[in-house]
Amino acid sequence: MNRKWECYEIDNLRVKQLMDKYKLNEFLAKILVNRNIDIEEKMDSFLNPTRNDFHNPFLMPDMEKATNRILDAIDKKERIMIYGDYDADGITSITVLKKFLNERGIDVGTYIPNRLDEGYGLNIEAIDTIFNQGYKLMITVDCGISGIKEIEYANKLGIETIITDHHEPVEELPRAYAVIDAKRKDNKYPFNQLAGVGVVFKLIQGLSIKLGLEEKEYLKYLDLVCVGTISDIVPLIDENRVIAKLGLKLVEVTKNIGLHVLIDSIGFKTINSSTISFGIAPRINACGRMGHEQEALDLFLCEDINKAKIIANRLNSFNQERQSKEKEIFEQVVKKIEESEKNKSCIILGENGWHHGIIGIVSSKVTEMYFKPSILICFDGETGKGSGRSIPGFDLHDALMNCSEYVQKFGGHAMAIGITLQKENFEKFKDEFEKYASNSHIGDIIPLIQIDEEVSLKNINIEDVKSLKLLEPFGEANKNPLFLFKNLRINSIRALSEGKHLKLILKDDNYMIDAIGFNMGNLAEEYRIDDKVDVVGTLEINNFNSEESIQITIKDIRKSY
């Protein structure tokens, strides 16, 4: 796939200002300028965030009202039901709020809808169950903002609801007792990109202030808040960066037995955002995807290390099962694409027996591989449920709005959607969507790789690369910096892991560097020793036999011209 490479234009005046004011090296200062960090107002909190960088929780809509209602429940020893989502953000949200309220002497129940049977968000049957268990106060976490009819039903039953959510509200808000969501139109909170668990953190911060508690009573949960925040792929800027930066320090020494045991079982050598994104999050999410959502919550609530080890092993098993099914479906999808869909503007496929909890991941991989919008549908009888992913420049939600005639229901946003339709309408929907996509000139959209700087091997050193740690944690809106190296000669090339990955030794005059390209093993047949190549990638420190060396992790590669 051809990708457009584009380097930032360096503002040398700002670079010099940063170097002088903050005693930074030029290498790091250029990247910070590319990140557009404001010199006067944001630099200190970006490089060295502290607990003083958290915003006032009472600037959030309905925070005052919600905290007063919960304080009343604490005084009266009311039972409270927490209703949360089944993904990592939802599970950590439930855990943090339950533990905090339990410590205040409150009897707290939890409800997580089963992804395969109930789907996302509030549902009438669940509210009936909660009512029949005698609860009169319900707090939603990481969901609820779109539950208009469900909240109305709860009101009729006499259940008061406090919604805490971070998703986009629809035109009208649910008529809940309180609705805490910084994406409300009347929001005055200075940052509206918190994860669901971030909103819960603000709630317990507000409660702690009202109760006159020490800061440690809510700050101690930053390990779990950090896990949920990074897992949910929200922008790691502003308050999310404070959560992630401070939280990762707590993850390293976490007192949560379940989290500690899970990290040990994964075997990551260092604790950083990658540990969470590629180690912890997939295992929590696998529980929900495979229909075992309670297991992840049980792990984080567990106080017995032996029981925690048993549960962690089950999470690892669920993740292996998820990986196996994902691989199986992905191979089937790719085969279908290569046979009949490769030249189309988008990829729309359906099949009996595909796992509903997994096709979203497969769709994401397919879109990344082919750089085309994709929607995958799994059929169960006459009904099909599916997930879709898009590319920058093509609004998937708008596309479905224009093809809704054959769709039973759908939801989501520009880059990701969920969809339900009848099997008899699938081919009509597919034709209509493909026509819309074709008229949108998707083929003219070229994937862009934004490069921080072109550098040469002789001008980088280990200390420069180590200085990049100041920018961590990396994630959405704070990507690992990318560098361009031109006219490198291939000194050695081979495939690793049964042809899956690419291993290179690259040379520029007398300077040499190791490079690895994950999932690029097929390129070992396209390039030869002594070929000259241009490479875009991140820079890492490789430790081998107690010796440190710089390594390029390849993002893209092409022959030099």
Task: Give the chain's mean pLDDT.
Answer: 93
Q: Which residues, in sequence order, are CB contacts of 75 under 8 Å at separation 6+?
A: none
In the prediction, which pLDDT does 40 show? 59
In the prediction, which pLDDT does 550 show? 95
- Mean pLDDT value of segment 360-381: 94
What 3-state class would DSSP assign to 172?
Answer: coil
pLDDT in tens, 302-328: 999 999 999 999 999 999 999 999 999
CB 58 within 8 A of CB 64: yes
Q: Which residues pair with 551 in a beta bridge?
A: 514, 540
In the prediction, which pLDDT does 495 show? 94
In the prediction, which pLDDT does 56 show? 98
CB 273 within 8 A of CB 292: no
In the prediction, which pLDDT does 1 show? 66
**Domain ranges across the chain:** 4-33+449-559, 55-314, 343-444
Q: What's the rounded Cα separation, in Å, for the pair 238 and 236?
A: 7
Instruction: Give Cα separations from 481 to 309, 320, 448 (angstroms).
Output: 37, 31, 14
Query: Was domain 55-314 assigned CATH 3.40.50.720?
Result: no
pLDDT in tens, 146-157: 899 999 999 999
Q: Is the pLDDT of residue 538 over 80?
A: yes
Structure confidence at residue 283 as a pLDDT band (50, 70, 90): very high
- Mean pLDDT value of segment 386-411: 89
Q: Is the pLDDT of residue 38 over 70?
A: no
In the prediction, which pLDDT does 146 show? 87
CB 112 within 8 A of CB 95: no
In the prediction, which pLDDT does 413 show? 78
Structure confidence at residue 560 as a pLDDT band (50, 70, 90): very high
Q: Is the pLDDT of residue 121 over 90?
A: no
- Mean pLDDT value of segment 167-190: 94
Q: Which residues, in sequence order, are CB contacts of 507 under 8 Å at separation 6+?
A: 488, 489, 490, 491, 513
Q: Which fold has domain 4-33+449-559?
A: OB fold (Dihydrolipoamide Acetyltransferase, E2P) (2.40.50)
Q: Is the pLDDT of residue 170 over 90?
A: no
Q: What's the rounded Cα separation, in Å, for the pair 94 and 86?
A: 10
Q: Is the pLDDT of residue 127 over 70?
A: yes
For the beta carbon of residue 180, count every other beta carbon within 10 angstroms: 30
For the beta carbon of residue 458, count every other beta carbon within 10 angstroms: 10
Q: Is the pLDDT of residue 443 over 90?
A: no
Q: What's the rounded Cα separation, in Å, for the pair 342 and 31?
A: 38
- Mean pLDDT value of segment 258-274: 93
- Mean pLDDT value of segment 203-216: 98
Q: Is the pLDDT of residue 216 over 90?
A: yes
Query: Was domain 343-444 assigned CATH 3.30.565.10?
Result: no
Q: What's the rounded Cα separation, in Å, for the pair 547 and 399?
A: 53
In the prediction, which pLDDT does 561 show? 84
